[in-house]
Amino acid sequence: MAPARDDELFTPAAACRNPTSLKPDGAEGRLMHRSLVQHPSMVESASGVYLNLANGRKVIDACGGAAVAIIGHGNEEVIQAIADQARKTLEALLRAELTGCRSVGDIRGRGLFWGVEFVGDRDTRETFDPKTGFGIRVQERAFEKGVALYPGAGTVDGTRGDHVLLAPPYTATEEELRVICRVLREAVEEIEAETL
């Protein structure tokens, strides 16, 4: 069995550069091939790879794609219902876990692609000093605890603004989503304690 080609992993091809669960027109959708058989060498070559980047996302969804197809018996409506339930669960858990975090300015997302914005002051929405590196520190702390997030900085004006993105696979169980959100909260609280 030959390793999957890059063009077999997702349609449209642009998805391999975009770690989201959105179609190019912004509509919600799954970016995984419906009948991909994964070669072990591809999974092995990903060991140690930074899986929250676009290429890591390809590996996560491609490997999970077969499981989703089995769960839904290939039925598109069943698979979409599974993804919709995961989205609702993820949103509810994120909001519940992060409500008490002083640095969380906003939580927003679509599908299974969510962002958490960090601010130094919730009332004024003042951002952290870029030297603080708040978002990257949250990402690093979560990674130490086993959860891969995608950090971002400079999103307000090119210099200021911190956030993290999370995009769990469609095959994530409710318990796995709980762990992701709990670890994110713990990481945020720990960095808050060091910073605020």
pLDDT along the chain (196 residues), means of 10: 39 36 41 43 47 52 59 72 90 98 96 95 95 97 96 93 92 93 99 97
Are the C-beta atoms of residues 119 and 128 closer than 8 Å to each other? yes
**pLDDT at residue number 48:** 46
Neighbouring C-alpha atoms within 13 Å toward the C-beta of 115: 18
Judge if 46 and 119 occupy the same domain: no
Strand partners, 110: 113
Judge if 90 and 43 occupy the same domain: no
State the residue range of the domain holding 108: 84-195
Number of domains in the chain: 2
Pairing of strands 113-118, 150-153: unpaired
Residue 138, both tokens: 């949250």
User: Do the domain assignments include residue 171?
Assistant: yes
Which residue, 57, 78, 99, sits at the end of a domain? 78
Q: What residue type is assigned to position 9 of the chain?
A: L
Query: Could you tell me the pTM of the whole model?
Result: 0.69
**pLDDT at residue number 66:** 59
**pLDDT at residue number 23:** 41
Judge if 169 and 125 occupy the same domain: yes
Number of H helices, E strands in the chain: 6, 4
Judge if 92 and 151 occupy the same domain: yes
